[in-house]
Structure 1
Amino acid sequence: MENLARFSDAIHAYEDPSYLDGPNFASFEQAFKYLAHLSEKNDRLILVIDEFPYLAKAYPPISSMLQSYIDHYFKQKKLFLILCGSSMSFMEKRVLGYKSPLYGRKTAQFKLKPFSLHDAEEFFPQLNKEEVFELNAITGGIPLYLSLMSPKKSLRENIKDNFLTTSAMLYAEPMSLLNQELREPASYSSIISAIAAGASRQSEISTKTGIASGALSPYLDNLIDLGIVEKRLPVTELDKARSRKTIYAIKDGMFRFWYTFVGKRVSFIERGITEPILDYIIKQLPHFMGPEFEKLSQEYLWSKLFDPDLVPEPFVNLGNWWGPDPKEKKQVEMDIVGFDDQKLNGYFGECKWKNEPISADILETLIYRSRLFPTPKKNYYLFSKTGFTDKCQQLAQQVDCHLITFDSKHPIARYLSPPSQ
């Protein structure tokens, strides 16, 4: 068995770094016995089994065997066992799940999160912050996907080489992951496509996919568990057990990019027609980056939670808001809404990822919509990719609005004090 041979080689190489070749252990059981013995000679022996799901599928008895050795041998030894896996459904159900032979034997669990912008900047120190932000967004912050991007190429070239080339990994990655993690991958793909096309409520997704609304919930729950889709509520509804304002959005950046720009153009890509698609992607990218900039802006405010110059009283909730405006008689949205514990301070913000400065009318609209909330003290924030017009800066000074811009020279958006007169 190839897995046993590689496992044997790793053990022998640990004992003797000059090891090149030798006999394999007769079985995994024999290898584990040897490791238990070997751990007695060390202060601590660390055993890491990467991509454990692949080993378990190739050799199903491995989980029960590990259970036995953990219970009867490893607990008394100085052996530290780490199981890793990229298949979240397998790790959660067949390693951590109640029915797993390994249930109850963990000392800790870690779910690795995507790279933040700061993490990605360290990945690409030679690129400016805007370029890193865009690459991190379209790859979902996954280190493997980021490693495919060349810092020597333009964003357009990286997109073409990694998403619009049929032999590229990311061209086939979404369907590959759905096939790996889920039954009925075609149904799940149609659901993600519907959300990418603008269907956000369960009834809308049902209409677009043809899946009955009642039958849709398990599909959505599975996509949420995998981190591909997220359930979203207005910040004012977060404490409610149920809400009619629930919507669904694609959470994973790579999936969102692929289903927004690649999935429905596969027939063109497979015929080598990529330049018009690239033109469209580059033109629409600011719109795609908008929600990513909203998240970054919200994260920035969370990072300043105890900075009284920016946040007078710590907020307990902060997020997006959408709902009816009785005066306008229509549904409106706000990028940032938050409240302190006593609801004495309200925090209201707008975020614009555009190649033009924010004008005063954006701030005027923000002030107007903030009146939908009866907080005595209102704090305003504008987040911009490129800056603010003179009129906007003048109005910001009058209403004490904080102006925050995306700055490629710093590891996080830089705080700009309201301009002095």
Structure 2
Amino acid sequence: MRRNIFVDREAELQQLESLWSKPAFSLVFVFGRRRVGKTRLLTEFAKEKTGVYYVAAQAPYEALCKEFSDSTKRSLGLPFSGDIIEVTESVTNATSEKILIVVDEFQYVVEVDASFPSRLQRLIDSELSQRNLILILCGSAVSFFEEKLLGYRSPLFGRRTATLKLKPLSFPQIKGFFPNYSIEDLLNTYAVIGGTPAYLEKLSGAKSFKENLRNIVTPENYLYDEAQNILRQEVREPRTYFSILSSIAEGKTSQSEAASVAQVDPRSIVKYIDLLEELEILTRVRPLGYRKPVKLQFKDNYFRFWFTYPYKLRTLLETGYVEESLNHILETFNIYLSRVFEDVIAEIAPLLHQHGLIETKPVQIGKWWHKDTEIDTIIREPGKSTTFIETKWSRIKHNEAEKILKEVEEKAAKTGLASPENHYLLVAKEITDETTPIKPEKHRKIIDLKTLNNILKPTATKTNKQNLNPTTNK
């Protein structure tokens, strides 16, 4: 059952409400990959507003027009029928009241009528620009929105009022789904699921992390095969993408290694990586301040986890050895989590700066490595300050932590990224013999999960019954 909560889209909701408060026409694009919460945001915004919420499907244009007309009659009681453009014009002419029209999965409309953006542009210029209306075009086809609608060659170029590209929730934001979880259980959950709201909603805050994990890796459950379902929907050669992602999960992070494992020409691997970046599954990482070398790294933790564990353990899992597989995951999970922990600290660097735990203003955030020397995270305000950060997903004593900080300072001298003011930070799972934060010297600092827990706050707010209901749920 879907939980009745709405978590941390306040900025986006406020932007939409601001547009609603103005007596003018607004064209808004809302897009992002599947399951990221677009429909949830828009139905929250649509509450108590007069309007039409229509979700397009892969169907002939005539069928879409009939569905849109039916939605208009059902929501507004207006007996208009015909082409979507004509019905939209008739609706805005029929009332001076503020109207909201949402066309979700808009790419399916353009797929069967390539002239639609041009016809809509003409209607905007001739009629809608003078109306009290918000028209929201929403969809999951990221490349379609970025290239076909936002590009300067688009007929709608220059007509949009706002663009919202929704991304997964960040680590601090997921606390709204699990208000009673410890910070360690939150990290465990984020390492497995990431910040995709539709996936987080499949878990229960009343269950332990282990119980939720068992459900995730049990065949026939939604999250067990969601990764492969998404890839099969989004890409043309799933096997090749599976090979690339599996190799990266094994630590083969160069493009040449990924090409070798996937048995594709190294010159053509770029197109596969480009699409995985567009889907926000992978990201290319370069040493801060340098163009090369390039490492491939998971951006989405759900895909990282799935290719590290369920994909590798699928024979065991699908022959009934769920408990044995679960035990293997838990026995090796700290190794897996140590990599995620690095990324989480980089992700929340602005929050750490806000709370005075990082002195450097986070203008630049990145990693650095050269041969066998590596620094997990570097925060820079060029020309002013640099903070070099080491993360350790382990329980250590204070004297060991100080030793690690001295090693970080030695490595930092090799980066060429030093500033007039330099700082060194160690983030550990736990400092066992002292209370953090610890400041051995002015330019050195040690923190652990207890410190991080103090700066995280719940972000969930409950929602009421919605007035405009879409016909599908993403």
CA distance in 1: counterparts of 2:186 and 2:144, whole angstroms: 32
1:73 aligns with 2:121: no
Same amino acid, percent of matched pairs: 30
1:383 aligns with 2:423: no
Matches within 5 A, 1:147-166: 147-162=201-216, 164-166=217-219
Tell me what 1:410 maps to: 454
Tell me what 2:188 maps to: 134
Q: Is the 8 A contact 2:395 2:432 kept in 1?
A: no
1:320 aligns with 2:340: no
Q: Is the 8 A contact 2:338 2:392 kept in 1?
A: yes
| TM norm structure 1 | 0.81
Offset at 1:256? Answer: 0.8
Tell me what 1:336 maps to: 377
Amino acid at match of 1:154: S
Runs (5+) with no aligned partner, structure 2: 1-61, 458-474
Tell me what 1:90 maps to: 144
CA distance in 1: counterparts of 2:311 and 2:89, whole angstroms: 49
Offset at 1:398? Answer: 5.2
| TM norm structure 2 | 0.73
Worse overlay, 69-78 or 198-207: 69-78
Tell me what 2:340 maps to: 292
- What SS does structure 1 have at the residue aligned with 2:296? strand
Instruction: Summarize the Cα distance change of 1:133–1:291 in structure 2 as closer, same or farther, 3 Å threshold.
Output: same
Instruction: Summarize the Cα distance change of 1:409–1:300 in structure 2 as closer, same or farther, 3 Å threshold.
Output: closer
CA distance in 2: counterparts of 1:133 and 1:315, whole angstroms: 22
- What SS does structure 1 have at the residue aligned with 2:100? strand
Tell me what 1:275 maps to: 323
Runs (5+) with no aligned partner, structure 1: 17-21, 325-330, 414-421
1:37 aligns with 2:84: no
Instruction: Summarize the Cα distance change of 1:67–1:177 in structure 2 as closer, same or farther, 3 Å threshold.
Output: farther
- What SS does structure 2 have at the residue aligned with 1:214? coil
- What SS does structure 2 have at the residue aligned with 1:236? coil
Instruction: Summarize the Cα distance change of 1:88–1:154 in structure 2 as closer, same or farther, 3 Å threshold.
Output: same
**One of 354, 379, 394 as aligned partner of 1:354:** 394
Worse overlay, 105-114 or 293-302: 293-302
Amino acid at match of 2:196: I
Q: Deviations over 1:25-80 (max 9, x none)?
A: 24424422322223x421x2121122223444466664444334323322221111
Q: Is the 8 A contact 1:234 1:322 kept in 2?
A: yes
Offset at 1:291? Answer: 3.1
1:106 aligns with 2:148: no
Offset at 1:318? Answer: 3.2
CA distance in 2: counterparts of 1:392 and 1:411, whole angstroms: 13
CA distance in 1: counterparts of 2:232 and 2:197, whole angstroms: 21
CA distance in 1: counterparts of 2:266 and 2:188, whole angstroms: 35
Offset at 1:148? Answer: 0.6
Offset at 1:381? Answer: 0.8
Offset at 1:306? Answer: 6.9
Worse overlay, 310-319 or 69-78: 310-319
CA distance in 2: counterparts of 1:370 and 1:391, whole angstroms: 26
Offset at 1:397? Answer: 1.8
Offset at 1:125? Answer: 1.8
Offset at 1:383? Answer: 0.6
CA distance in 2: counterparts of 1:142 and 1:286, whole angstroms: 22
CA distance in 1: counterparts of 2:320 and 2:434, whole angstroms: 47
Offset at 1:322? Answer: 0.8
Offset at 1:273? Answer: 2.0
Tell me what 1:367 maps to: 409
Offset at 1:231? Answer: 0.7
**One of 295, 305, 313 as aligned partner of 1:257:** 305
CA distance in 2: counterparts of 1:4 and 1:411, whole angstroms: 50
Q: Is the 8 A contact 2:388 2:408 kept in 1?
A: yes
**One of 280, 292, 301 as aligned partner of 1:227:** 280
Offset at 1:110? Answer: 1.3
Tell me what 1:122 maps to: 176
CA distance in 2: counterparts of 1:246 and 1:349, whole angstroms: 20
CA distance in 2: counterparts of 1:60 and 1:173, whole angstroms: 31
- What SS does structure 1 have at the residue aligned with 2:187? helix
Q: Is the 8 A contact 1:195 1:248 kept in 2?
A: yes
Aligned residues: 391
- Structure with larger RCO (C-alpha < 8 A, sep 6+): 2
Give the RMSD, CA atoms, in angstroms: 3.1
Q: Deviations over 1:308-348 (max 9, x none)?
A: x6555546433211114xxxxxx1211123444226x4422
Offset at 1:86? Answer: 2.1
Offset at 1:294? Answer: 1.9
1:196 aligns with 2:252: no
1:212 aligns with 2:256: no
- What SS does structure 1 have at the residue aligned with 2:431? coil
Q: Is the 8 A contact 1:47 1:81 kept in 2?
A: yes
Q: Is the 8 A contact 1:115 1:136 kept in 2?
A: no
Amino acid at match of 1:109: T
Tell me what 2:236 maps to: 183
1:12 aligns with 2:73: yes
